[in-house]
């Protein structure tokens, strides 16, 4: 099992949730109105007067065989829409209950 953390522009919330569902991934936890700045390029999403846009973040526990498909679809979505500002990270999960 893997943990997949996804940060993205809040305007794309429905698309990201639909992408997970299309890959057979139902469960997730979402944090609304998160802020941050990417390490490569793009505008900061800080939720203030100068940079009003914010992000959402999702953490989802994914079966190993679904991870590659989800990441491929996330990469494709990010390439199609630069303002999505998507980043995804994967961790191994040792135990869960």
pLDDT of 7: 95
Contact 29, 9 (CB under 8 A): no
Contact 13, 57 (CB under 8 A): no
pTM of the complete model beyond 0.75: yes
**Closest by CA position to 65, among listed 7, 24, 18:** 24
Kindly report the length of the chain: 97
pLDDT of 61: 97
The domain made up of 2-92 has a fold known as Alpha-Beta Plaits (3.30.70)
Q: Give the tens place of pLDDT for each residue, 26-50.
A: 999 999 989 887 777 777 777 788 8
Task: With a cut of 50, list the residues of the chain below it in pLDDT.
Answer: none
pLDDT of 26: 95
DSSP H/E element including 88: strand 87-92
Contact 15, 94 (CB under 8 A): no
């Amino acid at each position: 099992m893997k943990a997949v953390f996804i940060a993205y522009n809040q305007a794309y919330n429905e698309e990201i949730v639909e992408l997970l569902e299309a890959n057979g991934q139902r469960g997730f936890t979402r944090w609304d109105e998160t802020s941050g700045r990417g390490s490569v390029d793009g505008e900061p999403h800080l939720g203030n007067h100068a940079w009003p846009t914010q992000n959402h973040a999702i953490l989802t526990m994914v079966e190993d065989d679904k991870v590659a498909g989800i990441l491929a679809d996330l990469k494709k979505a990010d390439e199609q829409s630069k303002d999505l500002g998507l980043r995804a990270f994967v961790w191994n999960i040792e135990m869960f209950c």
